[in-house]
Amino acid sequence: MKEKLGISGVTARAFLTSEITPLLALAGLLLGLFAVLVTPREEEPQINVTFANVFIPFPGASVEEVENLVSQPAAQVLSEITGVKHVYTVSQPGMAVLTVRYKVGEDRIGAIVRLYNQLMSKRDWLPQNLGVLEPIVKPKGIDDVPIVTLTLWTDDEHRGGYELQKVAHAIETELKRVKGTRDIYTIGGPDSVVHVQIDPVKMAGYGLAVDDLRMALQASNSSLPAGALVADNHEVLVQAGRFLSNAEDIRNLVVGVHGGAPVYLGDVAAVSTGPDQPEQYVWLGTGPAAGERGIGRQGEYPAVTIAIAKQPGTNAVDIANQVIQRFEGLKGTFVPEGVNAYVTRNYGQTADDKAKTLIKKLVFATLSVVALVLFTLGRREAIIVGAAVVVTLAITLFASWAYGFTLNRVSLFALIFSIGILVDDAIVVVENIHRHMQLGGKSLLEAIPVAVDEVGGPTILATFTVIAALLPMAFVTGLMGPYMAPIPINASMGMLISLAVAFIFTPWLSNRLLGGKGHAHGESGGTQDEGGLYGVFKRFVGPFLQREQGRGKRRLLGAGILALILVSVSLAAVKVVVLKMLPFDNKSEFQVVVDMPEGTSVEQTARVLAELGRYLATVPEVTDYQAYAGAASPINFNGLVRQYYLRSGPNVGDIQVNLVDKKHRDRRSHDIALSMREPLQAIGSRYDANVKIVEVPPGPPVQAPLVAEIYGLDYDGQVRVAKQVRKVLENTADIVDVDDSVESPQPKLILDVDQEKAALLGVSQQAVVSAVRTALEGEDMSYLHGGRVKYPTPIRVELPVSMKDEARSLLDLRVRAQDGGLVPLSDLVRVEESRRELSIYSKDLLPVVYVTADMAGETDSPLYGMFDAYFQLGEERVEGGRPLNQHLLSQPDDPYFYGLKWDGEWQITYETFRDMGIAYSVGLILIYLLVVAQFRSYMVPLIIMTPIPLTIIGVMPGHALLGAQFTATSMIGMIALAGIIVRNSILLVDFINQQVTEGLPFQEAVIRAGAVRAKPIMLTGLAAMLGALFILDDPIFSGLAVSLLFGIFVSTLLTLVVIPVMYYAFNWRRLERA
């Protein structure tokens, strides 16, 4: 008569001898191979961060006009869009810049469509004829980050940035032929321009004004099809006019008549084709480790950089390889001799290297678990467990691809982390089959379903408790949620798959491989041997299992464990364990961001960058750097979020520093950056430059590690409060790179038109403005036509550079009066000295001043620096003698008083740990409900969940012992521990109940459960620890590894003692009576 089996036993028996079982396993392996081949590889997970910049020009308007008439009304309109998280504005003279930031996960296309709809449907918020131009929308997202940058440089003294840019523009079109590429653009090198540099004296002598040149250029540069002539049954096309095609055409252009003779443009202006006046400088510098990357020369060379981004959903590795391969094929044709090229960024390569490294770790982790089973259960059992793990991983990889995940560091770490728990089901099943074979009395075909069924119930429950602990983490919000989402989702899918494999494939393979093994008869295996595990448990746990005599021992045990928990928690309070969002990664790049005072020339900025570069060239680990004066370097994800792509102007600079691969250096990138900060800032201080070291953040980036947002009704007062806050931050230990959004004053000349004189002479103010702007800024009055060029060549009319250094040159300009005569501007304008207006920032309709900073020291966690400053600012007084109201979670409710909102890493840390805490709580509730449903008791689940707080005894001291910071990944480890440890308790309690049901005395059943279940519990614990061991060396995920290693080790040992003791203490009266 067959024994009555549950769902696990029935499933095992159904597939035990089925021919379909190996085919299912083979299909799983093939699906896994398919997933590995087709899943796109990237270094970091794709986070759907959608935002857009809206530029609204308001030429000539003051900052206050821009703020009140454009920025604030536009922000009100845009804040109504569904899914918008924040609306930021910057009001500048003549320009409003708005940034609409959507909530993480918002669909990019839908978000941008809603933005356009809102702008167009609410277009009437701007008064007609106000002078505000049409908004320009520039959407941004993760795929705008270039994955490859190619730097062209030359040591040919006859070539420079101008020539390199021409080569780069030719290359852009060829690289765009690579399927899957997105934006391709070049940074550096001046554009090609036809310079028409006017001589005001000669123009006055010939009786010409700037308007005459404009009219002549635009009227003469015209050509249109005029129809056709038909004669003798043939049609001859007619085109009237001819475009200006070169500098000679422009030079010979008739712009007027003087004394009965034509006046040519060349008579009153110097005409030449060449580079534009440089607004940015780019060069490549080499460091001591340049040879490691194949750069044989030392020094600094003019350069330009081509940046290539990829399309969404494409494989970064493939796109990068194809781009570089295509570029290599262009050498000798589009890339001439004397122009050198160097790949300064290849995120495809780093993604591939990371993927290969992690796949190797995945293989080694699997082999280590198989070796563990080999030494504890036997060779054939090890083969069974190994095969089950491989099939499980293969199907999990396919499920991950089907879900939409890419193959990146987080998804692969999720699999490595999961190895230890994916193998649990197989180990428990195989170990119990092994035990039943040792007990004997049944054939293998009879024993396997019974053995599977015996542990099936608790295994199913234990699997779902792990899922219940992990899956709520998938609902963490903010940037951190989608960044870490592969861990809970992949691990949960893997657990379900491993459960199916354990009940379907593992019994089938056990039947094939274990059939030849001999069976011992009777109860062998040492369960009753006093020298074995039974004896150990009876000796150490037995004294606690006595009714009255053991009560004092039980209380002492409880007090000792409680004391250990309190001591462990206190390690964080006394900073023995440092709390931080994520630790720094060991990258091969960082940035040096330089801000000069407003009004600094681009040449002076370049000189400062050059001096900084000369220091960088002495650092042993530096291979090369690219300096960008007047422009930003190609952005990374950090630069995308911080909007570094908006950094432009003569006073800004950026140095992209590349380090030798971490395999070839002893120092971490963070340590290198720390050592550079003081020397670099000492150089910057000599030029009044703000120099910041910006490292690649280990996770989702923020505006700055420390951000203080200053609110209040009076913007000038906000600026004064910001200066107070900045002073406090500068005097707080370990806080560095302090900066604010307040611009330096810059002198400004106002040419005020005498309206009465201008009216009497018939000169409009617009004519004066146009003449001055043309002379100084230059006016592109027309364009050259013809030629194989990608970008049009403007015909720019302006003053010579030598005449742009004083106001006298402007006053000598002449405009045409109503009577046809020429009037010098000196007769029409008064020169007034003033200062440039400061930009006004706002966030969510409230004016704000930002103060930013970073941390560098023993505790480089911004949390400690922020709270140090928080308490110091609590003693500060602002205008009116009022204290400064500080807010940690939201903007001030009352904008009529000065307030400070802390943001930056604090905000993302708070949101992440808040959501993880909620996920942890939800997980515990789900675990409790699952266990209640299984054991039909309210008290038993509480006993089973007792080991959860015991994990703290391992986790916190483990971090302290290894000097590791407690990070978000450490918290993930703690959450995972809740499910992992509870499964051990379930196995123990379920076996105790089975033994009591079979008639064994309660005390004996408790001891025997510990002895019998100790082996699978320790095996699964060791397996999870082995999996964690392979991620211990990763800077970011080391916290996860530490939590698992020490948490599992300590809590597993304590579980084998605490659960039997507690279960006995709460149930001995009821069960012994029964």
CA distances from 258 to 212, 261, 470, 812, 821 (A): 13, 5, 87, 21, 13
Stated length of the chain: 1074
Query: CA-to-CA distance for 539 and 1059, rounded, in angstroms?
Result: 16
Residue type for 100, please? Answer: V
| pLDDT (0 to 100) of residue 310 | 92
pLDDT of 590-624, one tens digit each?
999 999 999 899 999 999 999 999 999 999 999 99
Assign 1 a pLDDT band (cuts: 50, 70, 90).
very low
Assign 1073 a pLDDT band (cuts: 50, 70, 90).
low
96 and 202, same domain (yes or no): no
Q: What is the pTM of this model?
A: 0.86
Count Cβ atoms within 10 A of the Cβ of residue 852 and give its class: 0-12 exposed, 13-18 middle, 19 or more buried. Answer: buried
Q: Give residue for tokens 């402007």.
A: 810
Residue type for 777, please? Answer: E
| pLDDT (0 to 100) of residue 1068 | 63
- DSSP reduced 3-state for 560: helix
Residue 849 has pLDDT above 90, yes or no: yes
487 and 462, same domain (yes or no): yes
Name the nearest CA neighbour of 1009 among 546, 538, 449.
Answer: 538
Establish if 599 belongs to a structural domain.
no
514 and 530, same domain (yes or no): no
Structure tokens at 986: 């379930």
State which of 810, 832, 854 marks the end of a domain: 832
Residue 531 has pLDDT above 70, yes or no: no
Alpha-helical regions (H) of 731-791 = 755-761, 765-776
500 and 531, same domain (yes or no): no
| pLDDT (0 to 100) of residue 521 | 40
Least confident of 53-57, 147-151, 438-442, 706-710: 438-442
| pLDDT (0 to 100) of residue 591 | 94
Query: CA-to-CA distance for 490 and 502, rounded, in angstroms?
Result: 18
Q: What are phi and psi of 798, to 5 degrees?
A: -165, 175
State which of 805, 832, 859 marks the end of a domain: 832
Q: For position 395, which CATH number holds? A: 1.20.1640.10
Dihedral of CA 387/390/394/396: which sign? positive
String of b and e for 349-363 (b: at least 16 CB within 10 Å)?
Answer: bbbbebbeebeebbe
Establish if 659 belongs to a structural domain.
no
30 and 55, same domain (yes or no): no
Query: CA-to-CA distance for 931 and 983, rounded, in angstroms?
Result: 10
What is the Cα Rg of the chain in Å?
A: 37
| pLDDT (0 to 100) of residue 524 | 39
Query: CA-to-CA distance for 446 and 2, rounded, in angstroms?
Result: 9
Assign 32 a pLDDT band (cuts: 50, 70, 90).
very high
Assign 184 a pLDDT band (cuts: 50, 70, 90).
very high
The total number of structural domains in the chain stands at 4
State which of 815, 832, 849 marks the end of a domain: 832
Establish if 994 belongs to a structural domain.
yes
Query: CA-to-CA distance for 327 and 308, rounded, in angstroms?
Result: 12
Residue type for 177, please? Answer: R
1071: alpha, beta or left? (left if phi > 0; alpha if psi -120 to 50): alpha
Winning range, highest mean pLDDT, from 104-108, 652-656, 979-983? 652-656
536 and 496, same domain (yes or no): no
Q: Would you tell me how many other CB atoms lie within 10 Å of the CB of residue 967?
A: 29
Q: Are 382 and 371 in contact (CB under 8 A)?
A: yes
Name the nearest CA neighbour of 912 among 979, 966, 873.
Answer: 966
Query: CA-to-CA distance for 380 and 374, rounded, in angstroms?
Result: 8
Q: For position 819, which CATH number holds? A: 3.30.2090.10
User: Please, what is the angle between helix 347-376 and helix 409-439, to 10°?
Assistant: 10
Residue type for 44, please? Answer: E
- DSSP reduced 3-state for 245: coil
Assign 523 a pLDDT band (cuts: 50, 70, 90).
very low
pLDDT of 472-488, one tens digit each?
888 888 778 888 888 88
pLDDT of 985-1042, one tens digit each?
888 888 888 888 887 888 888 888 888 878 878 888 888 888 888 888 888 888 889 9
Query: CA-to-CA distance for 447 and 755, rounded, in angstroms?
Result: 106
Report which secondary-structure segment, H or E, holds 495: helix 486-513
Least confident of 261-270, 526-535, 693-702, 729-738: 526-535
Name the nearest CA neighbour of 1023 among 417, 293, 336.
Answer: 417
Name the nearest CA neighbour of 88 among 80, 58, 97.
Answer: 97
Establish if 844 belongs to a structural domain.
no
Establish if 615 belongs to a structural domain.
no
508 and 535, same domain (yes or no): no
Alpha-helical regions (H) of 206-293 = 210-220, 247-251, 265-268
Name the nearest CA neighbour of 933 among 497, 465, 467, 453.
Answer: 465
Structure tokens at 456: 């099936």
Beta bridge pairs of residue 100:
52, 87
- The beta-strand segments (E) located in 641-758 are 652-659, 690-695, 706-711, 735-740, 747-753
Q: For position 56, which CATH number holds? A: 3.30.70.1430
Q: Enter the DSSP assignment of 96.
A: E
421 and 552, same domain (yes or no): no
Query: What share of the chain in percent tops pLDDT 70?
Result: 97
> Which contacts qualify for 758-763: CB closer than 8 Å, 24 or more apart?
758/828, 761/817, 761/818, 761/823, 761/828, 762/817, 762/818, 762/819, 763/815, 763/816, 763/817, 763/818, 763/823, 763/828
How many CA within 13 A on the CB side of residue 1007? Answer: 23
Residue 420 has pLDDT above 80, yes or no: no
- DSSP reduced 3-state for 225: strand
551 and 450, same domain (yes or no): no
482 and 560, same domain (yes or no): no
Q: Would you tell me how many other CB atoms lie within 10 Å of the CB of residue 843?
A: 20
User: Please, what is the angle between helix 905-935 and helix 444-470, to 10°?
Assistant: 140
Beta bridge pairs of residue 814:
824
101 and 14, same domain (yes or no): no
Mean pLDDT of 382-404: 90
CA distances from 350 to 44, 48, 71 (A): 10, 21, 41
DSSP per residue over 189-216, as a string?
SPPEEEEEEE-HHHHHHTT--HHHHHHH
Q: Could you tell me the residue range of the domain that residue 506 belongs to?
A: 1-38+377-518
Count Cβ atoms within 10 A of the Cβ of residue 128 and give its class: 0-12 exposed, 13-18 middle, 19 or more buried. Answer: exposed
CA distances from 992 to 449, 550, 731, 1067 (A): 21, 19, 62, 11
- DSSP reduced 3-state for 1051: helix
Structure tokens at 950: 């015991």
Q: What are phi and psi of 783, to 5 degrees?
A: -135, 150
Establish if 797 belongs to a structural domain.
yes
pLDDT of 120-160, one tens digit each?
888 877 777 888 898 999 998 888 899 999 999 998 888 88
Q: Are 212 and 220 in contact (CB under 8 A)?
A: no
pLDDT of 51-105, one tens digit each?
899 999 999 899 999 999 999 999 999 999 999 999 999 999 999 999 999 988 8
Residue 518 has pLDDT above 70, yes or no: no
Averaged confidence pLDDT in the chain = 86
Name the nearest CA neighbour of 810 among 193, 60, 210, 195.
Answer: 210
CA distances from 872 to 866, 886, 1070 (A): 10, 11, 60
Residue 320 has pLDDT above 80, yes or no: yes
Establish if 706 belongs to a structural domain.
no
1065 and 1023, same domain (yes or no): yes
Instruction: Give the CA angle between residues 588, 589, 595 to the nearest 5°.
Output: 165
Establish if 19 belongs to a structural domain.
yes
